[in-house]
Amino acid sequence: MKNKKIDIKTPPKLFNETQSLIQEISKNLDGDFITYWISANSRIIGDDTVAFYEILKNNVNKEKLYIFIKSDGGSGEASLRIVNLLRKYYKSIVALIPFDCASAATMLVLGADSIKMGPLAYLTAIDTSITHDLSPIDKDNDRVSVSQNELSRVLNLWEDKKNNGNINPFSEIYKYVHPLVIGSVDRASSLSIKLTTDILSYHMKDLKEAERISHTLNSEYPSHSYPITIVEAKKIGLNVEELNDNLNKKLLELNELYSEMAQLAYSDYDEVNYHDNEILKIVEGENCKLFYQKDKDWHYRVEERRWISMNDESSWRKISSVKNKVIERSFFIR
Protein backbone atom coordinates (compact mmCIF):
# COMPACT_ATOMS: atom_id res chain seq x y z
CA MET A 1 0.00 0.00 0.00
CA LYS A 2 2.85 2.38 0.76
CA ASN A 3 5.31 1.96 -2.09
CA LYS A 4 6.80 5.38 -1.55
CA LYS A 5 7.27 7.58 1.45
CA ILE A 6 4.27 9.83 2.04
CA ASP A 7 4.36 12.93 4.18
CA ILE A 8 1.41 12.54 6.54
CA LYS A 9 -0.49 15.79 6.94
CA THR A 10 -1.18 16.86 10.51
CA PRO A 11 -3.69 19.49 11.64
CA PRO A 12 -2.54 22.55 13.63
CA LYS A 13 -3.20 22.53 17.41
CA LEU A 14 -3.19 26.35 17.86
CA PHE A 15 -3.03 26.10 21.66
CA ASN A 16 -1.46 29.52 22.25
CA GLU A 17 -3.86 31.24 19.85
CA THR A 18 -7.06 29.76 21.35
CA GLN A 19 -5.82 30.23 24.91
CA SER A 20 -5.14 33.89 24.25
CA LEU A 21 -8.72 34.38 23.05
CA ILE A 22 -10.20 32.34 25.90
CA GLN A 23 -8.34 34.40 28.48
CA GLU A 24 -9.46 37.62 26.79
CA ILE A 25 -13.09 36.46 26.76
CA SER A 26 -12.92 35.28 30.39
CA LYS A 27 -11.79 38.71 31.64
CA ASN A 28 -15.15 40.19 30.67
CA LEU A 29 -17.36 37.47 32.17
CA ASP A 30 -18.57 37.06 35.74
CA GLY A 31 -18.08 33.30 35.61
CA ASP A 32 -15.90 30.51 34.27
CA PHE A 33 -15.71 29.98 30.52
CA ILE A 34 -15.31 26.72 28.57
CA THR A 35 -15.90 25.70 24.98
CA TYR A 36 -17.47 22.67 23.32
CA TRP A 37 -16.86 22.70 19.57
CA ILE A 38 -17.67 19.77 17.28
CA SER A 39 -16.85 19.42 13.59
CA ALA A 40 -19.59 18.65 11.07
CA ASN A 41 -17.88 15.24 10.71
CA SER A 42 -18.48 14.28 14.34
CA ARG A 43 -21.22 14.19 16.98
CA ILE A 44 -21.93 14.41 20.69
CA ILE A 45 -21.29 11.08 22.45
CA GLY A 46 -21.08 9.85 26.03
CA ASP A 47 -17.27 9.81 26.14
CA ASP A 48 -17.27 13.60 25.82
CA THR A 49 -18.48 13.78 29.42
CA VAL A 50 -15.08 12.52 30.61
CA ALA A 51 -13.33 15.27 28.65
CA PHE A 52 -15.54 17.84 30.39
CA TYR A 53 -14.68 16.33 33.77
CA GLU A 54 -10.97 16.59 33.00
CA ILE A 55 -11.42 20.31 32.32
CA LEU A 56 -13.69 21.00 35.29
CA LYS A 57 -12.08 19.01 38.09
CA ASN A 58 -9.23 21.49 38.58
CA ASN A 59 -10.60 24.56 36.85
CA VAL A 60 -13.78 25.65 38.66
CA ASN A 61 -13.42 29.10 40.22
CA LYS A 62 -16.90 30.62 40.22
CA GLU A 63 -20.54 29.59 40.65
CA LYS A 64 -21.58 30.59 37.12
CA LEU A 65 -20.48 28.92 33.88
CA TYR A 66 -20.49 30.40 30.38
CA ILE A 67 -20.25 27.67 27.75
CA PHE A 68 -19.72 28.19 24.02
CA ILE A 69 -21.43 25.35 22.13
CA LYS A 70 -21.23 24.57 18.43
CA SER A 71 -22.41 21.19 17.11
CA ASP A 72 -24.72 19.51 14.59
CA GLY A 73 -26.00 17.09 17.23
CA GLY A 74 -25.46 13.52 18.37
CA SER A 75 -26.67 11.51 21.36
CA GLY A 76 -29.42 12.90 23.57
CA GLU A 77 -28.32 10.61 26.40
CA ALA A 78 -24.84 12.14 26.19
CA SER A 79 -26.35 15.64 26.39
CA LEU A 80 -28.14 14.67 29.60
CA ARG A 81 -24.91 13.30 31.08
CA ILE A 82 -23.03 16.50 30.25
CA VAL A 83 -25.76 18.70 31.75
CA ASN A 84 -25.79 16.56 34.88
CA LEU A 85 -21.99 16.93 35.22
CA LEU A 86 -22.05 20.70 34.69
CA ARG A 87 -24.82 21.07 37.28
CA LYS A 88 -22.63 19.31 39.86
CA TYR A 89 -20.15 22.18 39.60
CA TYR A 90 -22.24 25.26 38.78
CA LYS A 91 -25.39 26.86 40.19
CA SER A 92 -25.98 28.89 37.05
CA ILE A 93 -25.18 28.14 33.40
CA VAL A 94 -25.30 30.49 30.42
CA ALA A 95 -25.10 29.00 26.91
CA LEU A 96 -23.33 31.12 24.27
CA ILE A 97 -24.49 30.30 20.73
CA PRO A 98 -22.83 32.17 17.85
CA PHE A 99 -23.50 29.49 15.20
CA ASP A 100 -25.42 26.24 14.73
CA CYS A 101 -26.51 24.28 17.76
CA ALA A 102 -28.63 21.48 16.36
CA SER A 103 -30.55 18.41 17.53
CA ALA A 104 -28.81 16.89 20.59
CA ALA A 105 -26.81 20.12 20.93
CA THR A 106 -30.14 21.95 21.26
CA MET A 107 -30.99 19.48 24.03
CA LEU A 108 -27.69 20.32 25.72
CA VAL A 109 -28.40 24.06 25.52
CA LEU A 110 -31.77 23.51 27.23
CA GLY A 111 -29.82 22.63 30.37
CA ALA A 112 -28.68 26.26 30.66
CA ASP A 113 -30.57 28.84 32.74
CA SER A 114 -30.29 31.30 29.87
CA ILE A 115 -29.27 31.20 26.21
CA LYS A 116 -27.50 34.02 24.40
CA MET A 117 -27.72 33.85 20.60
CA GLY A 118 -25.81 35.79 17.95
CA PRO A 119 -27.20 36.90 14.56
CA LEU A 120 -25.92 33.70 12.88
CA ALA A 121 -27.14 31.40 15.66
CA TYR A 122 -29.94 28.87 15.52
CA LEU A 123 -31.26 25.86 17.39
CA THR A 124 -33.26 23.10 15.70
CA ALA A 125 -36.13 20.74 16.26
CA ILE A 126 -35.36 17.52 18.12
CA ASP A 127 -36.96 15.08 15.70
CA THR A 128 -35.67 11.59 16.49
CA SER A 129 -33.79 9.65 13.84
CA ILE A 130 -31.68 6.51 14.22
CA THR A 131 -29.35 4.42 12.10
CA HIS A 132 -30.15 0.81 12.93
CA ASP A 133 -28.27 -2.35 11.92
CA LEU A 134 -31.34 -3.22 9.86
CA SER A 135 -31.84 0.24 8.33
CA PRO A 136 -32.21 0.56 4.54
CA ILE A 137 -29.01 0.88 2.47
CA ASP A 138 -28.19 3.86 0.27
CA LYS A 139 -26.38 4.02 -3.06
CA ASP A 140 -22.99 3.84 -1.32
CA ASN A 141 -23.97 0.69 0.57
CA ASP A 142 -24.22 2.58 3.87
CA ARG A 143 -27.06 2.36 6.37
CA VAL A 144 -29.36 5.41 6.32
CA SER A 145 -31.09 7.03 9.26
CA VAL A 146 -34.86 6.69 9.70
CA SER A 147 -36.80 9.38 11.54
CA GLN A 148 -40.07 9.33 13.47
CA ASN A 149 -41.26 12.38 11.55
CA GLU A 150 -40.75 10.69 8.17
CA LEU A 151 -42.60 7.54 9.24
CA SER A 152 -45.47 9.55 10.73
CA ARG A 153 -45.84 11.59 7.56
CA VAL A 154 -46.02 8.48 5.38
CA LEU A 155 -48.78 7.07 7.58
CA ASN A 156 -50.65 10.40 7.63
CA LEU A 157 -50.49 10.69 3.85
CA TRP A 158 -51.76 7.13 3.55
CA GLU A 159 -54.67 7.95 5.86
CA ASP A 160 -55.49 11.18 4.01
CA LYS A 161 -55.64 9.60 0.55
CA LYS A 162 -58.03 6.77 1.49
CA ASN A 163 -57.55 5.29 -2.01
CA ASN A 164 -55.82 2.11 -0.98
CA GLY A 165 -58.79 -0.03 0.00
CA ASN A 166 -58.19 -2.08 3.12
CA ILE A 167 -54.45 -2.47 2.56
CA ASN A 168 -52.51 -2.18 5.80
CA PRO A 169 -49.94 0.62 5.30
CA PHE A 170 -47.42 -1.21 7.46
CA SER A 171 -47.39 -4.20 5.13
CA GLU A 172 -46.13 -1.84 2.40
CA ILE A 173 -43.72 0.07 4.63
CA TYR A 174 -42.20 -3.21 5.85
CA LYS A 175 -41.02 -3.87 2.29
CA TYR A 176 -38.58 -0.98 2.68
CA VAL A 177 -38.12 -0.48 6.42
CA HIS A 178 -37.67 -3.44 8.76
CA PRO A 179 -40.32 -3.61 11.55
CA LEU A 180 -37.60 -3.68 14.22
CA VAL A 181 -36.30 -0.35 12.85
CA ILE A 182 -39.79 1.17 13.14
CA GLY A 183 -40.07 -0.11 16.72
CA SER A 184 -36.66 1.31 17.60
CA VAL A 185 -37.55 4.72 16.12
CA ASP A 186 -40.77 4.85 18.14
CA ARG A 187 -38.90 3.98 21.33
CA ALA A 188 -36.22 6.58 20.53
CA SER A 189 -38.92 9.23 20.04
CA SER A 190 -40.38 8.56 23.51
CA LEU A 191 -36.86 8.64 24.93
CA SER A 192 -36.14 11.98 23.26
CA ILE A 193 -39.18 13.61 24.86
CA LYS A 194 -38.21 12.29 28.28
CA LEU A 195 -34.58 13.38 27.90
CA THR A 196 -35.58 16.88 26.86
CA THR A 197 -37.99 17.20 29.79
CA ASP A 198 -35.40 15.88 32.25
CA ILE A 199 -32.77 18.34 31.00
CA LEU A 200 -35.16 21.29 31.32
CA SER A 201 -36.11 20.19 34.84
CA TYR A 202 -32.59 20.95 36.08
CA HIS A 203 -33.55 24.62 36.20
CA MET A 204 -37.31 24.78 35.49
CA LYS A 205 -39.61 24.32 38.48
CA ASP A 206 -42.76 24.12 36.35
CA LEU A 207 -42.64 20.54 35.00
CA LYS A 208 -45.77 21.01 32.89
CA GLU A 209 -44.07 23.90 31.11
CA ALA A 210 -40.96 21.77 30.62
CA GLU A 211 -43.10 19.01 29.10
CA ARG A 212 -44.84 21.53 26.82
CA ILE A 213 -41.52 22.87 25.50
CA SER A 214 -40.24 19.31 25.08
CA HIS A 215 -43.26 18.23 23.01
CA THR A 216 -43.04 21.39 20.92
CA LEU A 217 -39.40 20.78 20.01
CA ASN A 218 -39.97 17.08 19.37
CA SER A 219 -43.15 17.15 17.29
CA GLU A 220 -44.23 20.64 16.15
CA TYR A 221 -41.76 21.23 13.31
CA PRO A 222 -41.99 19.75 9.80
CA SER A 223 -38.21 19.45 9.42
CA HIS A 224 -35.50 18.13 11.72
CA SER A 225 -33.20 20.90 10.53
CA TYR A 226 -35.78 23.69 10.90
CA PRO A 227 -33.74 26.71 12.12
CA ILE A 228 -35.06 28.03 15.42
CA THR A 229 -33.75 31.59 15.54
CA ILE A 230 -33.92 33.85 18.58
CA VAL A 231 -37.41 35.08 17.59
CA GLU A 232 -38.80 31.56 17.35
CA ALA A 233 -36.99 30.47 20.52
CA LYS A 234 -38.76 33.23 22.46
CA LYS A 235 -42.12 32.08 21.07
CA ILE A 236 -41.43 28.56 22.34
CA GLY A 237 -40.81 29.96 25.81
CA LEU A 238 -37.06 29.62 26.11
CA ASN A 239 -35.08 32.15 28.13
CA VAL A 240 -33.05 33.65 25.29
CA GLU A 241 -31.29 36.99 24.79
CA GLU A 242 -29.16 38.56 22.10
CA LEU A 243 -25.45 37.89 22.36
CA ASN A 244 -23.32 40.96 23.07
CA ASP A 245 -21.72 42.19 19.81
CA ASN A 246 -18.19 42.20 21.17
CA LEU A 247 -18.52 38.75 22.74
CA ASN A 248 -20.09 37.41 19.56
CA LYS A 249 -17.13 38.76 17.56
CA LYS A 250 -14.65 37.02 19.88
CA LEU A 251 -16.55 33.74 19.65
CA LEU A 252 -16.53 33.96 15.85
CA GLU A 253 -12.75 34.40 15.99
CA LEU A 254 -12.51 31.36 18.26
CA ASN A 255 -14.69 29.38 15.87
CA GLU A 256 -12.36 30.33 13.01
CA LEU A 257 -9.36 28.94 14.92
CA TYR A 258 -11.24 25.73 15.76
CA SER A 259 -12.28 25.39 12.11
CA GLU A 260 -8.63 25.71 11.12
CA MET A 261 -7.74 22.95 13.58
CA ALA A 262 -10.48 20.76 12.12
CA GLN A 263 -9.47 21.22 8.49
CA LEU A 264 -9.38 18.00 6.46
CA ALA A 265 -5.94 16.44 6.78
CA TYR A 266 -6.01 13.64 4.20
CA SER A 267 -2.81 12.08 2.87
CA ASP A 268 -3.38 10.01 -0.29
CA TYR A 269 -1.30 6.86 -0.71
CA ASP A 270 -3.05 5.92 -3.97
CA GLU A 271 -6.58 6.02 -5.38
CA VAL A 272 -7.94 3.42 -2.93
CA ASN A 273 -5.87 4.16 0.19
CA TYR A 274 -5.41 7.30 2.27
CA HIS A 275 -4.63 8.47 5.79
CA ASP A 276 -7.05 10.62 7.81
CA ASN A 277 -5.61 12.82 10.55
CA GLU A 278 -8.56 15.09 11.34
CA ILE A 279 -9.46 16.84 14.63
CA LEU A 280 -13.16 16.24 15.24
CA LYS A 281 -14.07 17.87 18.55
CA ILE A 282 -12.62 20.24 21.15
CA VAL A 283 -13.33 20.89 24.84
CA GLU A 284 -11.27 23.78 26.20
CA GLY A 285 -10.92 25.89 29.33
CA GLU A 286 -8.19 28.13 30.68
CA ASN A 287 -4.75 26.45 30.45
CA CYS A 288 -6.20 23.17 29.19
CA LYS A 289 -7.42 21.91 25.81
CA LEU A 290 -8.73 18.42 25.03
CA PHE A 291 -9.46 17.34 21.48
CA TYR A 292 -10.37 14.13 19.70
CA GLN A 293 -8.18 13.39 16.69
CA LYS A 294 -8.94 10.82 14.05
CA ASP A 295 -5.70 9.08 13.09
CA LYS A 296 -6.09 6.08 10.80
CA ASP A 297 -5.75 4.62 7.32
CA TRP A 298 -8.71 4.01 5.03
CA HIS A 299 -8.94 1.39 2.28
CA TYR A 300 -11.70 1.18 -0.33
CA ARG A 301 -12.91 -2.41 -0.65
CA VAL A 302 -14.15 -2.41 -4.23
CA GLU A 303 -16.16 -5.64 -4.06
CA GLU A 304 -18.19 -4.26 -1.12
CA ARG A 305 -18.30 -0.67 -2.40
CA ARG A 306 -17.29 0.77 0.97
CA TRP A 307 -14.36 2.20 2.89
CA ILE A 308 -12.88 0.26 5.80
CA SER A 309 -10.53 1.65 8.45
CA MET A 310 -7.07 0.25 9.21
CA ASN A 311 -4.25 1.01 11.69
CA ASP A 312 -6.57 3.08 13.84
CA GLU A 313 -4.73 5.19 16.43
CA SER A 314 -7.50 7.75 16.93
CA SER A 315 -7.72 9.13 20.47
CA TRP A 316 -8.32 12.08 22.72
CA ARG A 317 -5.30 14.33 23.21
CA LYS A 318 -4.65 16.84 25.99
CA ILE A 319 -2.60 20.03 25.82
CA SER A 320 -1.98 21.98 29.01
CA SER A 321 0.25 24.76 30.22
CA VAL A 322 2.32 23.91 33.31
CA LYS A 323 4.73 26.56 34.60
CA ASN A 324 4.66 28.28 31.19
CA LYS A 325 5.57 25.01 29.48
CA VAL A 326 3.12 23.55 26.92
CA ILE A 327 2.72 19.80 27.32
CA GLU A 328 0.83 17.52 24.92
CA ARG A 329 -0.03 13.91 25.67
CA SER A 330 -2.61 11.25 24.86
CA PHE A 331 -5.71 11.27 27.05
CA PHE A 332 -7.20 7.81 27.45
CA ILE A 333 -10.91 7.46 28.06
CA ARG A 334 -11.33 3.83 27.04
Q: Residues 74, 104: contact at Cβ < 8 Å? A: yes
Q: Torsion-angle region of residue 241: left (phi > 0), alpha (psi -120 to 50) or beta?
A: beta
Domain 15-127+221-331's class?
Answer: alpha beta
Q: Using the predicted structure, report yes or no on whether residue 2 has a pLDDT greater than 60.
A: no
Q: Using the predicted structure, report yes or no on whether residue 163 has a pLDDT greater than 60.
A: no
CA-to-CA distance for 236 and 95, rounded, in angstroms? Answer: 17
Q: Using the predicted structure, report yes or no on whether residue 94 has a pLDDT greater than 60.
A: yes
CA-to-CA distance for 67 and 39, rounded, in angstroms? Answer: 17
Tell me the pLDDT band of 41, cut-offs 50, 70 and 90: very high
Residue ranges of the alpha helices (H) in 90-166?
A: 104-109, 148-161
Closest CA to 280 of 263, 297, 268, 305: 263
Q: Using the predicted structure, report yes or no on whether residue 138 has a pLDDT greater than 90.
A: no
The fraction of the chain above a pLDDT of 70, given in percent, is 90
Contacts of 286 (CB under 8 A, 6+ apart): 19, 22, 23, 26, 33, 59
**Amino acid in the structure at residue 97:** I
Closest CA to 282 of 61, 97, 55: 55
First to last CA, the chain: 30
Query: For 291-306, b where at least 16 C-beta lie within 10 A, e where not — what string?
Result: bbbbbebbbeeeeeee
Q: Higher confidence at residue 182 or residue 326?
A: 326
Task: Provide the pairing of β-strand 92-97 with 315-322.
Answer: unpaired
Encode pLDDT of 68-80 as tens digits. 999 999 888 999 9
Length of the chain in terms of residues written:
334
Element (H, E) at 14: none
Tell me what the mean pLDDT of segment 181-199 comes to. 78
Residue ranges of the alpha helices (H) in the chain?
A: 15-27, 48-56, 76-89, 104-109, 148-161, 169-173, 179-200, 207-219, 230-236, 245-261
Residues forming beta bridges with residue 117, ordered by sequence position: 97, 242
Contacts of 276 (CB under 8 A, 6+ apart): 265, 266, 294, 295, 296, 297, 298
Encode pLDDT of 244-288 as tens digits. 999 999 999 999 999 999 998 899 999 999 999 999 999 999 999
Average pLDDT for the chain: 89
Phi/psi at 214 (5° precision)? -60, -50
CA-to-CA distance for 161 and 126, rounded, in angstroms? Answer: 28
Q: Using the predicted structure, report yes or no on whether residue 56 has a pLDDT greater than 80.
A: yes
Q: Radius of gyration over alpha carbons of the chain, in Å?
A: 22
Tell me the pLDDT band of 157, cut-offs 50, 70 and 90: confident
